[in-house]
Amino acid sequence: MSTTASPPRVQTDLSVRIGSLTLTGPVLVASGTYGYGDEFGARFSIERLGGIVTKTVTLKPRAGNPPHRMVETPSGMLNSIGLENVGLKAFIADKLPKLAAVPTAILASVGGETPGELFRLVRALEAAPCAGYEINFSCPNVARGGARYWADARRLETTTRKLRTLTARPLIAKLTPNATDPSALARACEQGGADAVSLVNTFVGTAIDLERRRFVLGRASGGLSGPAIKPLALAQVHEVSGAVKIPVIGMGGIVTATDALEFLLAGAACVQVGTASFARPDAPMRVAEGVAAWCAAHGIAHVADLVRTVRVWGEGEEGDAWT
């Protein structure tokens, strides 16, 4: 990565505040792309991560969708996993205890088909060791309680308001990009008391097998992720971060530190690395290291100083070298 600027190297403050929680760095791993956080053991420097968002947990175990569940597409992939997970009971009994040893913040992703299911999940997890919650309001691959169901500002606001009464831990609302007005959904969560919104979840897409004349995916459509969606995600992060005061957690096709830094400039307070981990399991750590190195090389005192600092041409250019 280019580090052409040469102000004095500084010790950048990489911490990010989300509600009552201080993350040690601006790079997290996205739900469903790092399992439960214990799978790789001590193989990687997980302490470099600001946090791990676990695979979405639901009240009951879910077997997930029929195959095929994944197909690669140009610069991206479609997935249709369908919230396969071990269920709340096993998550608390078997998964969370192992995560206690992981040296980073553990954010539990929770998913429900109704508001009531989310309330039960959060109530049950309050006694369990996790630092906060990301509420999955945006899975595109389930018949009930998915992105379509939750793309309703009033439902989001009332649900978030009730969740707020159940926990003092950070509440992050993960939103769908498949909505006419993502900012309206984000504002609804803010008004309900969410500490942050995270976006984007995947874009609905499909792939077709010509000779078999069938959709490749077992459930016909899936969610598109990877570098293919990065420009779409950047635009949504910029738009939404201008519409709410709470932090926006940005994601969508981040593979390199450059990608991550662009999301910060667009308006993300911190970012999540998702699909890139499938290509290389050490990708999030490399992104985190790269972000820290770039900030130090560019004399950035606090990573928050970068957030939403992108400008349009002609804006504030008086001091620039070429004018």
Q: For residue 128, state whether it binds other proteins (rule: CB under 8 A).
A: no
Judge whether 219 and 268 are in contact, CB under 8 Å: no
Q: For residue 71, state whether it binds other proteins (rule: CB under 8 A).
A: yes
Tokens read off for 149: 């169901």
Q: Which is nearer to other proteins, 82 or 112 (CB)?
A: 82
CA 223 to chain centre: 14
183-to-175, 179, 214, 256 alpha-carbon distances in Å: 10, 9, 36, 27
- Which residue type, as a one-letter code, is found at position 312? V
Catalytic status, residue 139:
yes
Q: Which is nearer to other proteins, 79 or 178 (CB)?
A: 79
Instruction: Give the nearest distance from C-beta 45 to other proteins in angstroms.
Output: 14
- The burial class, CB within 10 Å (0-12 / 13-18 / 19+), for 246 is buried
Identify which range of 16-24, 164-172, 275-283, 308-316 contacts other proteins by CB under 8 A.
275-283
- SS3 state of residue 205: strand
Interaction with other proteins in 177-206: which residues (CB under 8 A)?
Answer: none
Q: For residue 76, state whether it binds other proteins (rule: CB under 8 A).
A: yes
Judge whether 227 and 75 are in contact, CB under 8 Å: yes
Interaction with other proteins in 204-263: which residues (CB under 8 A)?
Answer: 209-212, 218, 226-227
Contacts of 210 (CB under 8 A, 6+ apart): none
Catalytic residue from among 130, 139, 270, 295: 139
Task: Summarize as ranges the residues that interact with other proteins (CB under 8 A).
Answer: 32-35, 39-40, 63-64, 66-72, 74-77, 79, 81, 84, 86, 90, 94, 209-212, 218, 226-227, 275, 277-282
- What residues are annotated to the active site? 139
